[in-house]
Amino acid sequence: MTSQFSDSLSQTTPDSAPAEEALANIKGIAFIEGGYCPIAEAKISLLDWGFLRSDATYDVVHVWQSRFFRLDKHLDRFLASVTRLRLTLPYDRAQLTDILTQCVRRAQLEDAYVEMICTRGMSPTLSRDPRDAVNRFIAFVIPFSSIANKEQRQRGLYLAISRVRRIPPESVDPRVKNYHWLDFIQALFEAYDRNAENVVLLDTDGNVAEGPGFNLFVVKNGTITTPARGVLEGITRHTVIELCAELGIDASKAPVPVDDLHNADEVFISSTAGGIMPVTRIDDVAIGNGNPGPITRKLTDLYWQKHNDPDWTTPID
């Protein structure tokens, strides 16, 4: 398996290092206001509605060994999200691809985290009518990082189930990747207080939903289930389902009660930020035998093999 990537960004910045100094040390490039600059120099207005009101959408694609992974699918979702939020972009699909590629080239990174953003922007007259705002496109590239560090990927993550419920899809459409993360952040602090490493939220019906930046999968008797409602339709989630079909594993989207999570043979999460990652403890109770399971390992190996498949990747010259 080739998933040995940098954990540099997952490390806590020392208290003695100012945030500006830490940012200056990150090898990254941003595209903003129509030009490229070092990541430390990228700024937006305090009056941008993306900052003031979380009125924005974004998407993240990763680069591994100088190849975008599933770039077309990320662009599909980003463009669909822009349309759903009634935003407009000054660039077409080919131009977006070129901007992202140029960011990676200029950053000189072989393994990278690549984010594209469209915010509502602001009105030149400070109008409170969102139709008057001039929308803004931003992209940036930083070194690749994972939700789980090396140790966690090897022995499995420890999660807690939060008492905080996920924002219902009737309020915020989870198909539109967004920055409405206060439920996730509150839940993370609750999980840390319980000595867990990450958290999973339930929906308003009491079924399993998702975690901060990841989808969740339950393995029971050789079949896989992932929550169907109120979750981001993750690109890696979709990839897992495709991999299951290739391996002849039955996978479906359906409600996942909490008991199914606790009684699972295996649990794993999926994210662009790390791929497929095992979960071996939930609420301080071991899942299965307490080790990453065979189906999780098989899917993880195939997932990283696909990073060399020309049908799944886009090379950066």
**CB 215, CB 198: distance < 8 Å:** no
Q: Which residues contact 17 (CB under 8 A, 6 or more apart)?
A: none
Q: What's the pLDDT at 17?
A: 58
150-307: CATH homologous superfamily? D-amino Acid Aminotransferase, subunit A, domain 2 (3.20.10.10)
Instruction: Say whether pLDDT at 303 is over 50.
Output: yes
Instruction: Say whether pLDDT at 106 is over 50.
Output: yes
- Where in the sequence of the chain do the CATH 3.20.10.10 domains occur? 150-307
pLDDT tens for 215-259 read 999 999 999 999 999 999 999 999 999 999 999 999 999 999 999
How high does pLDDT run on average in the chain?
Answer: 94
CA distances from 303 to 69, 96, 155, 242 (A): 10, 26, 18, 10
Q: What's the pLDDT at 26?
A: 83
DSSP 6-71: --GGGSPPPTTS-HHHHHHTS--EEEETTEEEEGGG----TT-HHHHS--EEEEEEEESSSEEESH
C-alpha closest to that of 128 among 44, 45, 49, 46:
49
- Where in the sequence of the chain do the CATH 3.30.470.10 domains occur? 8-143
CA distance 156 to 61: 24
Instruction: Say whether pLDDT at 205 is over 90.
Output: yes
Q: What's the pLDDT at 15?
A: 55
CA distance 151 to 275: 15
- For 8-143, CATH gives 3.30.470.10
